[in-house]
Structure 1
Amino acid sequence: MKTFLQRGFILFLLIAGLSFSGSAINFKPADSVQIKGFHLDMRIQVMKLPALKRFALNLGKNGINTIIMEWEGSYPFAKEPLIANRYAYSREEVRDFVRYCNSLHIQVIPLQQSFGHVEYILRNYKYAALREDQKDFSQVCPSEPELNKKLFTSLYTDLVSTHNSPYIHIGGDETYLLGHCEKCKKRAAEIGLSRLYFDHIKMLCDIVAGLGKRPIVWADIALKYPNYISLLPKETVFVDWNYGWDVNHFGDHAKLLKSGYEIWGSPAIRSYPDNYFLTDWQKHFNNIRDFIPLSRKLGYKGIVMTSWSTSGVYSSLFESEDELIDLYAIRHVYPLNGFNILVNYYLSTLNGDRKLTNDQFITNYCSSRYGLNPQQAMQFKNALFATPYNVVHGKVISPKEITVNQLLDSATNALNMLKSLKPIREEQEFRHYVLMAGIRVYYLTCMTIETEVNSPGFSADQVPVYLTKLDKLLADEQKLSAAFIALNKDFLYKSALDEENLLRSQKIHVLYNRLAKIK
């Protein structure tokens, strides 16, 4: 009888999802992280729909249950057609993508920026009355509540018609112009910046709640100005984005934790200082390694990986003082399909491989993915992690003083190291690393030339020497551009790839044309 009862108890434990070992009962804790997400940034580098689905499929197979879509100008608003750009999806394509993700048990949360980062809306003079500034179109004026309420009620209502997630992400980050215009200056003097910010955010959250959805807000400004955080509906979710800094980077983190609101954590695989010519691989590996366990320790209910195609800061091209021609994203990065190793590190860490070091993961990934041995894997890592420093006005921004030429030498060594490795599998994926390293060498070669022609000793009789160097560089550029299109043609549209190639090399062409006039 005793044996029968023991067996029955063990069977109960197995049915309940608990483990039993010997005489000790080990209760397996439920995962506190309910939202396992990935954020896709469509501000630039709008993915082709088949590529978008392939990416979602990989995420779904690896435990992701949420995608946050920052559609921006790629979303086709029915009542606000000026917002869409030339890469906008059709409404049926949006619905098709949402249905496809739902079939993978992934919810799609729309992200609609509603305070800062709204250049793509405010660039149109139809919305001029909502601008905080008539030259910097990045932010709506929170002192125009009726106009804002009308616009964003329309936008959120449209998004609800195509998305079935219980959430809408309203943005709310990096409101650099808070209290800038005359109306807002006056209000800020009376009520303070925190109240100015949260009055607007509350209005937006109330619209979302009125549509039966839960609002999501980036947490940086709430951390900076937390005094009126309690104004928001209790169902509001804050996303604490942290890309490798102290938790008090934006403000007193304890106040956010004590606010009573649900919080999700958010690391990044593409962010500052990444650009066309630099990826700080080590920063992103460390961010994943450190912040995901911290998010769990803090009791966050969700973790969402961000992957920014740009900083969201734009350069305005004006035809005259008041007539805008176009906006150009100031910082671009390499397309997302070149970052599979970081995506997989995130998925692995999120799903339980929490004790893996960067080196262990890279070794395992290089073995299973590329067929490289441990020594080759460490060569690969060293090449990726080599001297991730920017150059500004001829100076290398680094902890220790190094020259641009020394930085170029390091980048060249990294490129040669990658070229020496011969993957036996996934060769196309591996070529992304080689191309990124080649683009970096190309750029730093140009920076050495630029630094030298900006030196006090540069004279006109030296111009032919530098034109010869630039001629070689421009020949290399054609090869890099062709490789860039070949590797990314299934991911991005041809016109977008052409534009990326053009903008990436524009500085070098400008320098060449200026020097050629001196010849």
Structure 2
Amino acid sequence: MEAGGPRRRLVHLDLKGAPPRASYLAEVLPLLRALGATGLLLEYEDTFPYVGPLEPLRAPHAYRYRPGAGGGRGPRCRAGPGPDVSLSPRRSAGEVRAVLSQARAQGLEVVPLVQTFGHMEFVLKHKEFAHLREVEVFPNALNPHKEESRALVKAMIDQVMAQHEDLKWFHIGCDEVYYLGEGEESKQWLQQQGNTPEKLCLAHIKAVASCVVSSYPTVTPIVWDDMLRGISEETLAESGVPQLVQPMIWDYAADLDVEGKVHLIEKYRRCGFSKVWFASAFKGATGVNQSLTLIGHHLKNHLQWLEVASSSPADVLEGIALTGWQRYDHFSVLCELLPVAIPSLAVCLQALKNGGYSEKIKENVEKLLGMSNLETDTFMSTSLGTFPGSNILTLVTQVSFYLKSSVDELLERNRYVTGWFSPYHRKRKIIHPIIMHHFHPDAVSLLSKWNAVVQDLQAAMEQVFHKCTVEEWLEENVHPSLQKLQQVVDDLDKAIKAQQ
């Protein structure tokens, strides 16, 4: 422990939505280090530049290769028959390697995360891999009975491993394996005496972890713990899983049950797990389409985790990952963008590093972020900040607070609009000429103002994100109100021209 906080503090970068450009990450990593991060938990999902038969997994915005020397070396996990999908790239993954090199330069340890059981939508949505689904119609969970499923997982692990050096941990996911046991092969397997969904889950985790451990003896697998929590001590102990993996206990609530977590840690210890990790959240855990981060919620979450740490044996905690979810799953909308949540991350990291939060620590956070007044209890922060991407936070705050409300104010609460320029009037072009002039200047002025803000936001976002992220965020958060306003102005212009 360091000053009451966990010694290892990994910042989770969830790259399955709004993956930042490598150039932006290069700007942010020194700040993360200064704030107290000791490492990164990199969840690549579809942004890893997979090659060979795995190439379909790469999103159009995946981190790019550049010509260069051969990829990283290391043993390959092989699994019997099936296609050889364990190809190691012959050229280095340029952007991935650059980020990893920058992380190393900052003294940040990297732990890669590859989902290998649940949350496999980014793989199983593709026709090439759809036959490996647990339930035919759902792309979320992998069928644990197929040899080819294990070959696929091992191939993904090998390609990611090949780009990393000196790894101590590798996160194999395994959370939220919904519909496990509901596939046809699982139903048959469960009819055999003594077989249960819990044993099926543990068998797959053991198979994946065994591959990692046998092929990469210096690497310890980490798993999310939610599928393990409800399993009896006896079943866990007998499975052999505790000797292979370290569980990462996650809870993102502001009022998590400290006593319950301490008991859970004790249970895991009795089952044979040598160490555990915690997982908190600095963003992406308070609403599926949340656009601004409520720092107070996340600060409380971290202060509760500090209580759990101080109530547990000192030698049990390996570290904590501060999760920053970008989507709730592969198909859901974006939640808070990384630059928007950096003040929350700063507060949480500093609380963990110092074993608590005080006025002095708040002042240090403000200094590191270049903010004169950091508000933790509301969404509003009055100062702009100088941290990378702070302009995005300022503009997103404006849009989130005022765009919809200002358009609604004009269109739903202005008596001239509701009384004389309703959809009925607009459709039939029954417009009183005097009435139009009462609110035409207001509508044009409001549209002009918001177009300028959105133009600035788009330009700022394009510095940090790929075009597809910018488009998605604007379509979800800006276009509904702006298009409504634009339509009114267009109808007004037509009506005025018709009167001339």
TM-score greater than 0.5 by the shorter chain: yes
Q: Label 1:123 to 1:283 Cα distance change in 2 as closer, same or farther (>3 A).
A: same
Q: Indicate yes or no: 2:311 matched with 1:305.
A: no
Q: Indicate yes or no: 2:210 matched with 1:206.
A: yes
Q: 1:66-96: CA deviations, max 9, x gaps?
A: 2111111111122311111111222132223
Residue of structure 1 in register with 2:33 after alignment: 60
Match of 2:477 among 504, 510, 516: 504
**Cα distance in 2, alignment partners of residues 249 and 474 from structure 1:** 51
Residue of structure 1 in register with 2:137 after alignment: 135
**Cα distance in 1, alignment partners of residues 419 and 277 from structure 2:** 57
Which residues of structure 2 form unaligned runs of 5+? 66-92, 428-438, 496-500
Contact 1:223 1:255 in 2 (8 A): no
Which residues of structure 1 form unaligned runs of 5+? 1-27, 315-329, 389-413
Instruction: Note the C-alpha offset of 1:290.
Output: 2.4
Residue of structure 1 in register with 2:236 after alignment: 229
| TM-score normalised by structure 1 residue count | 0.71
Instruction: Note the C-alpha offset of 1:242.
Output: 1.6
Match of 2:294 among 272, 280, 289: 280
**Cα distance in 1, alignment partners of residues 309 and 250 from structure 2:** 10
Residue of structure 1 in register with 2:432 after alignment: none
Q: Indicate yes or no: 2:94 matched with 1:102.
A: no
Residue of structure 2 in register with 1:482 after alignment: 455
Matches within 5 A, 1:18-417: 33-79=6-52, 80-89=54-63, 90=65, 91-144=93-146, 146-164=147-165, 165-188=167-190, 190=192, 191-212=195-216, 213-226=219-232, 228-230=235-237, 231=239, 232=241, 234-244=243-253, 245-246=256-257, 248=260, 254-261=266-273, 262-274=275-287, 275-298=289-312, 299=314, 300-314=317-331, 330-351=332-353, 353-357=354-358, 361-366=361-366, 369-370=369-370, 372=372, 377=373, 381=375, 385-386=377-378
Deviates more, 1:178-187 or 1:119-128: 178-187
**Cα distance in 1, alignment partners of residues 297 and 407 from structure 2:** 23
Contact 1:267 1:305 in 2 (8 A): yes
SS of 1:174 mapped into structure 2: coil
Q: Label 1:279 to 1:479 Cα distance change in 2 as closer, same or farther (>3 A).
A: farther
Residue of structure 1 in register with 2:498 after alignment: none
Instruction: Note the C-alpha offset of 1:370.
Output: 4.3
Residue of structure 2 in register with 1:438 after alignment: 398
SS of 2:355 mapped into structure 1: coil
Contact 1:220 1:250 in 2 (8 A): no
Amino acid at match of 2:156: L
Instruction: Note the C-alpha offset of 1:269.
Output: 0.9
Equivalent pairs, count? 429
Q: Label 1:500 to 1:166 Cα distance change in 2 as closer, same or farther (>3 A).
A: same
RMSD: 3.9
Instruction: Note the C-alpha offset of 1:250.
Output: 13
Instruction: Note the C-alpha offset of 1:62.
Output: 4.6
Q: Which has the higher contact order (CA 8 A, sep 6+)?
A: 2
Q: Label 1:368 to 1:53 Cα distance change in 2 as closer, same or farther (>3 A).
A: closer
Instruction: Note the C-alpha offset of 1:150.
Output: 0.9
Instruction: Note the C-alpha offset of 1:255.
Output: 2.4
Contact 2:302 2:351 in 1 (8 A): yes
Instruction: Note the C-alpha offset of 1:29.
Output: 8.3
Q: 1:153-175: CA deviations, max 9, x gaps?
A: 21112222111212211101111
SS of 2:9 mapped into structure 1: strand
- Matched-pair identity in %: 19
Q: Label 1:188 to 1:442 Cα distance change in 2 as closer, same or farther (>3 A).
A: farther
**Cα distance in 2, alignment partners of residues 179 and 459 from structure 1:** 59
| TM-score normalised by structure 2 residue count | 0.74
Instruction: Note the C-alpha offset of 1:270.
Output: 0.9
Q: 1:452-477: CA deviations, max 9, x gaps?
A: 89xxxx99994369999999886665
Deviates more, 1:273-282 or 1:208-217: 273-282
**Cα distance in 2, alignment partners of residues 180 and 125 from structure 1:** 21
Residue of structure 2 in register with 1:403 after alignment: none
Q: 1:135-183: CA deviations, max 9, x gaps?
A: 3211112232x11111112111222211121221110111122222232
Q: Label 1:197 to 1:87 Cα distance change in 2 as closer, same or farther (>3 A).
A: same
**Cα distance in 2, alignment partners of residues 202 and 133 from structure 1:** 21
**Cα distance in 2, alignment partners of residues 243 and 466 from structure 1:** 48
Instruction: Note the C-alpha offset of 1:499.
Output: 2.8
Deviates more, 1:269-278 or 1:67-76: 269-278
SS of 2:10 mapped into structure 1: strand
Amino acid at match of 1:223: R
**Cα distance in 1, alignment partners of residues 483 and 228 from structure 2:** 43
Q: Label 1:452 to 1:311 Cα distance change in 2 as closer, same or farther (>3 A).
A: farther
Instruction: Note the C-alpha offset of 1:48.
Output: 1.1
Q: 1:1-53: CA deviations, max 9, x gaps?
A: xxxxxxxxxxxxxxxxxxxxxxxxxxx98988443211111101111112122
Amino acid at match of 2:243: K
Amino acid at match of 1:306: T
Q: Label 1:32 to 1:207 Cα distance change in 2 as closer, same or farther (>3 A).
A: farther
**Cα distance in 2, alignment partners of residues 472 and 277 from structure 1:** 26
Instruction: Note the C-alpha offset of 1:445.
Output: 2.8
Instruction: Note the C-alpha offset of 1:187.
Output: 3.4
